[in-house]
Structure formats: C-alpha cells, structure tokens
Amino acid sequence: MKQRIAILGASGYTGAELIRLLLPHPHAEIVTLTADSQAGKSMREVYPHLDCAGLPNLIPLSAVDYHGIDVVFCCLPHGTTQQVIAEIPRHVKVIDLSADFRLADTDAYAQWYGHAHFAPELQKEAVYGLTELNRNKIKNARLVANPGCYPTSAQLPLMPLLKEKLIEADNIIIDAKSGMTGAGRAAKQTVLFTEINEGVDAYSISAHRHAPEIEQGLTLAYGKQVIVNFTPHHMPMNRGILSTIYVSLAKGKRPEDLVACLANAYQNEYFVRLTAKGVAPATHMVRGTNVCLIGVFADRLPGRAILVSVMDNLVKGASGQAVQNMNLMCGFPEKTALEQTALFP
C-alpha cells in the first residue's frame, strides 16, 4: 500500500527537492501540497521543472485534511512548525525539516531561537533523525526532527571518533561552507547574485543556531559536554556543503586510527563513505545524491588531524535524509528512491 504524502511548505527548495525524490518512490503518493503565498497555483507554475501529471495544486495550510494522509513532511519556517504539528492527528507520521524539534532542551531552544518552545510535550517524543546513528529509534518514531545540514556534515565524521575517545573533545574547529540554497528561496539582499557571486563570506560568527545542535550530538557521543568552534560560510554555488574539521588526537592515537574507526562505523552504510587515502572529498562528488563522503588527513602539526566531509545540503542535508527517515518509519528498504548517482560536471 502506498503512503499518502503531504508536504507543508512545498514551494521552498526543500519542498521541491522532496517532490523530485518522491515522484519515483514506489510506495509514496503525493496527495497534498501547501504554500500559502502560492495557493491555487500548480507546481509547474512555481517550479517549471516539476511539470508532472498527477501532482495536486498548492493549497493553504489551513485547508489540509489530515484524515486522508499517512505521512507529513513539514518544510515550514522555524517558530511556526511546533504549533502546526501539535494539531496534526496522532495517526499521521511527521518528519519535520525545520529546527523546531532538534534541540531536546527546550530552554536551549528558547535561548537560540528567541522565543519559548510552543510544544514542549511533543518535544519529549521527538526523535532526532540522524539516520545512520539513530536508526533504531527512528524506526519506531511518530515525530522525527530531521537534522540540519551543517550538523549532519559535522556529526557523521565526529561522533564515532568521540565515542571511541580517539580525539580530544575540547579543541574541535569546524570550518563549513554551504551553497546558497541553504539560505532559502526568499528574496534577500545578502543573497542576490551580485552580492554573493565571485566571493565567499563568513556569517553568524560565534552565533550560528546549528552550533548547539552539533554540540548536542557530540556531547551524547562523548558522554561529557563538548563545545566546538563552528563558523559557516556562504559559497557562490547552488548546492553542497564542505566541512573542514580540525581535531587534536588523543594521546597515543594516529590519523590511521581515525580512518579505521570510521571505516568500521560505516562499513555497512550505503550513504556514508570514506574516500580513498589521499583523495580529498569535493562537493561535485555528491551533487544530487544522499551520500556523505569523508576524508581523513594527517596534519603537518604533530598530534593533529584534518577531516573533510562533503554532501549535498538539499539531499543528505535535508530532503534526502527526510525520505531516508520516512523509509525507516514506514518499513520500506532504506535506500528506496535514493540511489541517484552524482551529477557531474
């Protein structure tokens, strides 16, 4: 039986990417698409590349009938999602792509997002959807908080190493760069072509909201509080995230130990892979795919190593991981509709 799918906030980049991934999914049927600002339009009017027969027209969020829906993907802005999901009937599985349920500590959410959590009871049941490292809980979840793009690129290489105490926890530097789709589709001066083209800029320095999400996962893996130095950058490209992560090795450990640990942790994983020795991951290697590539390199400074992690911010960093989580929640093979080969060049 096909799962009847609703995408709330379908006119944004993550909503459009969900449609692209779900259209060939053998067990999914898209029955509802919402976008208040575009209500009444067809998807082909908003995204001409989605000129597909059978897609429903966009409707206002208030018009959704949840009784005919099995799974909801919520692509609404943070701060609005908590109240929306609180009103969704209990029979519906929910994958939330906003930040509203990612932080288990509601006080931390209030601190970083500037307002109280509107659904603290729901937060207690929300499962963090970093698929490869939280698979068993995701399988039985009703509400999954899909991770942020930067946190996915940082946690996948770092959590196994911290769990095995192979690196020091107090000296982690994450230098991350993202394509401009990460800034959303709304028109903003700072992301106009002439503002971003032929340049790179750091933003939200020492204050990016993904920092506590990264630290939450790393602290869980290490068993003690972990604080990281995290700085994101805008890159003049459409898709992709590249995180360069600088770590200090634990006493007596070598970069080869990091490679062995990650190879063991992800040996049976389809979507998380290590590059060959000496091969630096690049964003074009994963464009359009649900794959995260990780490379490990010895620093020229003794006792240090450099990790490089790349992925497509719209796929593994958002919509692809959301579909991967849906597959788990609904009992489908995890790779279903997600085995795309990278687009190159």
User: Catalytic site residues?
Assistant: 149
Q: How far apart are CA 86 and CA 15, in angstroms?
A: 20
SS3 state of residue 124 = helix
What contacts 187, CB < 8 A, 6 or more positions away?
none
- Coil vs helix vs strand at 25: coil
Give the residues across from 230 on adjacent strands: 174
Cα 306 to Cα 121: distance, rounded to the nearest angstrom: 40
Q: 12: which DSSP letter? A: S
Q: What are phi and psi of 27, to 5 degrees?
A: -115, 15
Bridge partners (DSSP) listed for residue 93? 71
Strand partners, 297: 306
**Residues 326 and 93: beta-carbon distance below 8 Å:** yes
Quick one: DSSP state of residue 278?
A: T
Sequence-separated (6 or more) residues with CB below 8 Å from residue 5: 22, 28, 29, 30, 31, 32, 69, 70, 71, 72, 73
| One-letter identity of residue 67 | H
- Selection from 100, 178, 85 nearest residue 146 by Cα: 100
Number of residues written out for the chain: 345
Angle of CA points 47, 130, 67, to nearest 5°: 60
